Each structure stands twice: as C-alpha cells, then as structure tokens.
Amino acid sequence: MSRTEEFELIIVGGGPAGLCAAMYAGRGMLKTALLERGVPGGELLNTEWIDDYPGFEHVLGRELAQKMTAHALVFGAELRQENVESIVRREGGVFEVATTGGTTYEAPAVILTAGGTPTKLDVPGEHEYAGRGVSYCAVCDGAFFKGDTIAVVGGGDAAVEEADYLTRYAEKVYVIHRRDEFRASRILQERLFANPKIEVIWNKQVRELGGGPAGLESLLLEDTVTGDAQSLKATGCFIFIGFRPNTGLIKQHVAHDASGYVITDDRMMTSIPGLFAAGDLRVQLTRQVTTAVGDATTAAIAVEKFLKDRQAGVPGAKVGV
C-alpha cells in the first residue's frame, strides 16, 4: 500500500557522507530521513581495515560504520531501510523520492550521497578475497602491502597512476592490461615505464583469483591473443577498470562531467535547486572517507541556510523554479 511522508530533508545513501550529513542535520534540528537500501556504512562495510581516518590509527571498516551510525542516531536522524527508485523535483520546489517499498518521501531539500560502484572483474575469487588482497583503492589499502608483490589491473589513467603510487609500499608491481597499449595519458605512462619496480604484462586478462586462509596468493591469467594460461604469484590485486557514480536516481537533467560525476557549487548544491550532493558521486580530486564527510558537513549546513532562505522567500533559494 502506497503512502507519503513529509520531511524537511531527505538523505539518499547511508555511507560515510550520508551518515555525517544525518548527524549534522540532526544537530540542526531538521526533520530528516536517511534512506539506505541495506545496512548503513556503504563502502566501509567492504573495507576490512582503515588507517587513514583521523583519530583512528587502525579501525575495522564495519566498526567505523557502526560508530558513525550510532552518532547520527544520537542527534535524532531517522534511518529507514528503503531502496530508492527515483528523485524528482516538482514545480514549486518539493522533491518526491520514490521507493520500491511503495513509500514516497517528500522534502524541499535532498542530499544525494549514493556514492559510486567500482567496476568488477566478475571472476571467481574476486568476492571471496575482497578486503583480503583484492582492493579498489590504492590510497586506502596500499600501506598493507609493504614489501609485497602485487598486481594492478587496468590500462587507464587510474590504473597507471595508482600503480606508480603503490610502488612506495610494494617491492614489485605488475600491471596487467588486456591490450598492447595503455589508454592513460602520455605523462603518466612515461612515469610508469621509468619506475624500476613496475613490470607491465600486456595482452592478458584475469580469469581467476586464488588464495588460502591468509588471503590472496595468485592470479590466473589468460593471453588475449593465444588463449594460453599462466599463473602469477601476488598477495594483492588492485582493480582499476572503471567507476560508475550512482546518479541514475535523478530523473531530471543535472550538470555533470564527461564521466557522469555531479558538478556542485561550493555549498555542494547541484544545478537543481535544493538538490545537494556529497561524497564519491561528486566531481572532485580524490574520493576518501575524509573527503566524503567533509562534503557532507558542508552540504548539511548549507541545507539549513537554504531552507531558511526558502521559508523567508529569499530569491537565492529559487523557491518556484
């Protein structure tokens, strides 16, 4: 049975950005609903250890997620387990956030923190060894592989740049690419080829990831030309073959870059008045837990001002646009 609920603010996504925004919205005494399809935490739940979040030298991803969730609840935010289908801004400035459960949430402001999804290899062992050798973030996990032999999969800017970055920790870095040339920019390629710790393995694709109780141990590679198979020993596999921002929920045009990341102003507002964005789906230099919560802090405080201006009829709030 369908029903409608009204709030001052709806937050879509329950990762670090969403939970931080909910905490600040609660502190601001805004009637807020955070909608998350699963357990709150986002990518924190897929990361075993985090050692680059201030105040926590070494913390389990799920533990940090639990602490952030508890902190948001302390200030009165409502966390609802809902799968959001669409976000639409009606004439007059009220948003309709429709869910698969049949409930429609209405509010004059929305903060979208739905993050993004790294493209997976979809091979045996990838899910099993995620967080135990398989990673999609060099900055997050590189320090865990000091002195190890690791592999980087991909041929674009991200793969080439992160492979070079990972040599500050790993003793040896293999870059595995399915073609015989990179798509990465020339300057990044020159830097990679000049690094003595890096070896490129051309015309190969990963078919399986294997290991044991301690984690990843090897990669099974297939030659894209001959079909021959070979095994490569490595305790880490960093996959950089694409990242898709979760912006498909927005059913109206919103300004974005060529890769689909949402463009915001310095208050995190998008080109749609009242729609704010924070975290991994926003155009920015880097995507870390720290940048996600920084975005969210700005967005939540900006929403307070936006709602006050809207109530007062301030032109900048664009009430009727």
Flag whether pLDDT at 1 surpasses 70. Answer: no
Q: Where are the alpha helices (DSSP H) in the chain?
A: 16-27, 61-74, 138-141, 157-166, 186-193, 289-312
CA distances from 134 to 47, 76, 161, 254 (A): 10, 37, 18, 34
- Please compute the mean of the pLDDT values over residues 262-277 and round it to a whole number: 97
- Strand 229-233 versus strand 215-223 pairing type: antiparallel
Comparing 44 with 7, which gets the higher pLDDT? 7
The predicted structure's pLDDT at residue 320: 39
Q: Kindly state the average pLDDT of the residues 260-274.
A: 96
Structure confidence at residue 319 (pLDDT): 41
Mean pLDDT across 234-238: 97
Per the listing, tokens 């929403």 go with 303
Percentage of the chain modeled with pLDDT above 70: 97
Which residue ranges form the domains of the chain, and what is each CATH number? 3-117+243-317 (3.50.50.60), 134-239 (3.50.50.60)
Using the predicted structure, report yes or no on whether residue 315 has a pLDDT greater than 70.
no
Top pLDDT among 119 and 203 is at: 203
The yes-or-no verdict on residue 297 having pLDDT over 80 is: yes
Of residues 238, 243, 269, the one with CA closest to residue 254: 269
Q: What is the mean pLDDT of residues 150-174?
A: 95
**Joined tokens for residue 104:** 């429609």
Mean pLDDT of the chain: 92
Alpha carbons 289 and 280: distance in angstroms, whole number = 9
Query: How far is CA 26 from its chain centroid?
Result: 23
Sequence-distant (6+) residues with CB within 8 A of 215 are: 129, 132, 133, 235
Q: Are 154 and 241 in contact (CB under 8 A)?
A: yes
Cα 16 off chain centre by: 10
What three-state secondary structure class fits 10? strand
What's residue 242's pLDDT? 86
State phi, psi for 245 to the nearest 5 degrees: -70, 140
Give the pLDDT band of residue 317 (cuts 50, 70, 90): low
- pLDDT of 198 higher than 90: yes
Instruction: Please list the active-site residues.
Output: 137, 140-141
The pLDDT value given to residue 124: 97
Q: Give the rounded percent of residues in the chain with a pLDDT score beyond 90.
A: 77
pTM of the model: 0.75
List Cα–Cα distances, 281 to 107, 250, 257, 271, 306, in angstroms. 21, 12, 11, 14, 21
Does residue 52 register a pLDDT over 50? yes
Tally of CA atoms within 13 A in the half-sphere of 60 that contains its CB? 5
Q: What is the pLDDT of residues 79-132, one digit of tens each?
A: 999 999 999 999 899 999 999 999 999 999 999 999 888 889 999 999 999 989
Comparing 38 with 25, which gets the higher pLDDT?
25
Cα distances (angstroms) measured from residue 95 to each of 99, 100, 105, 262? 13, 17, 8, 18
